[in-house]
């Protein structure tokens, strides 16, 4: 799985522009800066209201992690206070930046810095941003629980333990320069004010509800356009999220949810790009917001796809639906599909 996100500093693309671009999370700064670099409580609330998750990273200077244990202790105290002021739940991690090509000889100081951070917020909440080698060495030494690896200084290598990857720099959304990131794990440190993805507010002890739907009816896939899947089989649907007899919705908001969909596509030649996404459609039929897109390449006919959303939310009066697109020269077919959703009411 991969979830699309961005990171940025002084500029503010705005929730609407980020949503239009398919952004599902934003990595934002904590620091001693006073010129507008840092995440604010108001910004956190605006992003969360648009369905965008937050991740935070502490960075003052690029090589601050060489300050050792004392520096890590001081920075973690300040970072935790700033994050809490923005509404970050106390169980969520903070990434600490190593924003330079750190050598193996410098890892001792970096590890000591991470020890200092862990003495304040706990090892389970310590993350590291950096290139392949400092991230790998920190994981190997069991100094971090979270890794955010940048492609810079990585030589094309990726540490599979890193939950976040900064894979491309120097992009622009709504006139603001930013970097592209992707989450490769269900838990990558994301949060919303007062909300952890695995612990929705005021429902920590509740069991999630469950929806499971399917379809065996062939559905045409015209080239170059999104097709919303319709479901006619309800395997489990105690709350009647999906109407018996067929329809596209798999969950009605407001709710927090995770979703997995399996789709079998026929008639699409090898090498054809195929995409799957969820959308959040207005129940009034007046509009929708596109969710995270996952790309696939056909290896032949038929093509079996598995699409996953690890943690997201759907607003009131909106419905979660699954869409498929293919970019071949002729129409293809969704031969069958199924979707499973775990959700908590918000």
Same domain, 126 and 261: no
The answer to whether position 191 is within a domain reads no
Q: List, as own/partner pairs, every contact residues 198-206 make where C-beta atoms lie below 8 angstroms and the sequence separation is at least 24, other chains included.
A: 198/311, 199/89, 199/91, 200/256, 200/344, 200/345, 200/346, 201/346, 203/344, 203/345, 206/344
Looking at residue 82, what is its pLDDT? 97
Give the span between the Cα atoms of 159 and 165, in whole angstroms.
9
Same domain, 242 and 319: yes
Looking at residue 253, what is its pLDDT? 83
Strand-pair partners of 179: 7
At residue 29, φ and ψ (nearest 5 deg) are -90, 150
Q: Is the pLDDT of residue 205 over 50?
A: no
Structure tokens at 67: 């300050």
Give the span between the Cα atoms of 66 and 81, in whole angstroms.
22
Q: Do the bridges between strand 273-282 and strand 94-97 make them parallel or antiparallel, or are there none, so unpaired?
A: unpaired
Same domain, 24 and 107: yes
Exposure on the CB side of residue 151, measured as CA atoms within 13 A: 10
The answer to whether position 113 is within a domain reads yes
Give the span between the Cα atoms of 125 and 111, in whole angstroms.
15
Which residue range forms the structural domain that includes residue 147? 3-183
Same domain, 132 and 244: no
* CATH number of the domain encompassing residue 267: 2.60.120.40
Same domain, 167 and 217: no
Same domain, 32 and 108: yes
Q: Is the pLDDT of residue 346 over 70?
A: no
The answer to whether position 13 is within a domain reads yes
The answer to whether the CB of 186 falls within 8 A of the CB of 312 is: no
CA distances from 71 to 5, 116, 120, 145 (A): 29, 7, 12, 19
Looking at residue 198, what is its pLDDT? 60
The answer to whether position 99 is within a domain reads yes
What domain count does the chain have?
2
Same domain, 100 and 226: no
Looking at residue 66, what is its pLDDT? 98
Same domain, 226 and 113: no
Same domain, 219 and 93: no
Q: Is the pLDDT of residue 134 over 60?
A: yes
Mean pLDDT score, 305-331: 87
Same domain, 216 and 145: no
Give the span between the Cα atoms of 25 and 92, in whole angstroms.
14
Same domain, 118 and 154: yes
Assessment of whether the complete model's pTM goes beyond 0.85: no
Query: Environment class of residue 342 by beta-carbon count within 10 Å: exposed (0-12), middle (13-18) or buried (19+)?
Result: middle
The answer to whether the CB of 64 falls within 8 A of the CB of 71 is: yes
Looking at residue 206, what is its pLDDT? 46
pLDDT in tens, 30-84: 999 999 999 999 999 999 888 899 999 999 999 999 999 999 999 999 999 999 9
């Amino acid at each position: 799985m991969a979830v699309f996100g961005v990171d940025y500093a002084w500029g503010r693309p705005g929730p609407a522009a980020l949503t239009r671009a398919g952004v599902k999370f934003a990595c934002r700064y904590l620091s001693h800066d006073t010129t507008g670099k840092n995440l604010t409580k108001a910004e956190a609330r605006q992003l969360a209201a648009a369905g965008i998750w937050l991740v935070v990273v502490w960075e003052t200077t690029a090589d601050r992690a060489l300050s050792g244990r004392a520096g890590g202790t001081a920075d973690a105290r300040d970072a935790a206070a700033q994050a809490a002021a923005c509404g970050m739940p106390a169980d969520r991690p903070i990434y600490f930046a190593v924003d330079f090509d750190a050598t193996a000889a410098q890892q001792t100081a970096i590890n000591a810095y991470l020890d200092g951070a862990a003495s304040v917020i706990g090892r389970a909440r310590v993350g590291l941003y950096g290139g392949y080698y400092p991230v790998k060495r920190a994981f190997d030494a069991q100094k971090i629980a979270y890794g955010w690896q940048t492609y810079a200084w990585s030589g094309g290598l990726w540490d599979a333990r890193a939950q976040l990857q900064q894979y491309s720099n120097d992009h622009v959304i709504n006139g603001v320069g930013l970097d592209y990131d992707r989450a490769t794990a269900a838990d990558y440190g994301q949060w919303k004010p007062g909300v952890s993805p695995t612990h929705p507010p005021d429902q920590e002890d509740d069991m999630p509800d469950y929806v499971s739907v399917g379809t065996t009816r062939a559905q045409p896939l015209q080239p170059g356009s999104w097709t919303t899947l319709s479901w006619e089989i309800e395997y489990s649907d105690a709350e009647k999220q999906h109407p018996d007899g067929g329809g596209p919705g798999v969950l009605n908001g407001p709710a927090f949810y995770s979703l997995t969909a399996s789709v079998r596509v026929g008639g699409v030649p090898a090498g054809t790009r195929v995409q799957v996404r969820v959308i959040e459609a207005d129940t009034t039929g007046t509009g929708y917001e596109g969710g995270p897109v996952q790309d696939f390449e056909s290896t032949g006919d038929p093509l079996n796809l598995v699409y996953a959303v690890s943690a997201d939310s759907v607003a009131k009066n909106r419905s979660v639906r699954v869409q498929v697109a293919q970019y071949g020269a002729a129409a293809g077919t969704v031969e069958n599909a199924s979707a499973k959703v775990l959700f908590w009411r918000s």
